[in-house]
Amino acid sequence: MSLDHFLAAHGYAGAERLALPGDAGHRRYLRLKGGPRPALLMDGSGAAAVGLPSAEADLRAFMAIGEHIRGTGLSAPEVLAADPPAGFLLIEDLGEPTHAALLDAGAEALPLYLAATETLAALHAAPPPPGLPAWEGETMAKATGATFLDWWWPAVLGAEPSQAQRKAFFAAMRAMLAPFEGAGAFVHRDYFPANLLPLPDRPGPASVGIIDFQDAGHGHPAYDLVSLLQDARRDVAPEVRAAATARYLDARPGLDRAAFEAATAAMAAQRHLRVASLWVRLDRRDKKPHYLRHGPRCWRLLDEALRHPATAPLAAFLDENVPRQLRANPQMEPAA
């Protein structure tokens, strides 16, 4: 089914289509105005054009996980119509702006981060749905290697890593992450202000709308708190980080605070190394050089995480193989 036919079938043939800013993925979003109710079109039909698998599984995951989130009493967009094989999903428009847009416009940061943290604590307190893919240990190590070893390493060091270096890297990652496996929490994986929306008319933790959750998995809850408070795309003031972390731990009194702090460091080290290197892949492969501007922040946050004893295996690997003066991203690739 074509996009025009899909929209017409659900009463949006004459709706105005407003493109929303894109992200680092392949999906595009259109805000529809003039249909039966405010709605967003989630369009994954372009996946094949960039060499990715069909969007069907992606959209079905979005539908299932959204249902889970709503079932916990939190706010995720309701699905209004769907054609997963074609790559189209029509979803409830939770409104605008996002938390990110509010912060960019000068809104006070602390209330937004505290609200997001309370919602996150409620999300993590609920049992995760069955069937989520693992986001821990081996999976996290492979995801990091796919950006750090395959893209950052040759771009900065000028050659592919040796097999011995690859083996040592994966051993270091597994050793760092192994103590934190088995937590079994729902992990959004991209829980940060661009994926959160204020819904002041809804009560308590439901007052923050959650989007872009289709890549969720099960793993350690500290990962999402890192995504929020050690954001790869914006600076978060130390006092805001401290207050929001305290709010999260107060909301979940059963957590061991020292163990959670150690897990936070390990999750941060993995995420920052993977994402710093992801910016290189987005530049070199996908011709999206503007993401490189976030590199210095990611490397700075990685350095902070590596000071914790929980990250010692990865810290030792980097000390042996990547001189500190080279821990940065290259400039954007010159135009051909």
What count of Cα atoms within 13 Å lies in the side-chain half-sphere of residue 10? 21
Strand order in the sheet with 16-19: 16-19, 28-33, 39-43, 88-92, 79-83
CB 167 within 8 A of CB 321: no
d(CA 3, CA 20): 17
Give pLDDT, residue 171. 98
The three-point CA angle 233-276-256 to 5° equals 75
Which residue ranges does the chain devote to CATH 3.90.1200.10?
Answer: 99-326
Give, as one character, the DSSP assignment of residue 187: E
Give pLDDT, residue 57. 84
CB 233 within 8 A of CB 294: yes
| Average pLDDT of adjacent 10-residue blocks, the chain of 336 residues | 90 92 71 92 69 72 95 97 92 94 98 98 95 95 98 97 98 98 94 97 97 94 98 97 98 96 98 98 94 97 98 98 95 59
Give pLDDT, residue 184. 87
Q: What is the CATH number of domain 99-326?
A: 3.90.1200.10
Give pLDDT, residue 333. 59
3-92, CATH topology level: Phosphorylase Kinase; domain 1 (3.30.200)
| Pairing of β 134-135 and β 88-92 | unpaired
CB 63 within 8 A of CB 214: no
Question: DSSP 3-state assignment of 19?
Answer: strand
Give pLDDT, residue 48. 46
This prediction has a pTM of 0.92
Which residue ranges does the chain devote to CATH 3.30.200.20?
Answer: 3-92
Cα 7 vs. chain centroid, distance in angstroms? 29
Helix (H) or strand (E) holding 81: strand 79-83
Q: Which two tokens stand for residue 229?
A: 């408070």
CB 220 within 8 A of CB 183: yes
Phi and psi at 39, nearest 5°, equal: -150, 160
Q: Which two tokens stand for residue 204?
A: 């308590």
Helix (H) or strand (E) holding 281: helix 257-284
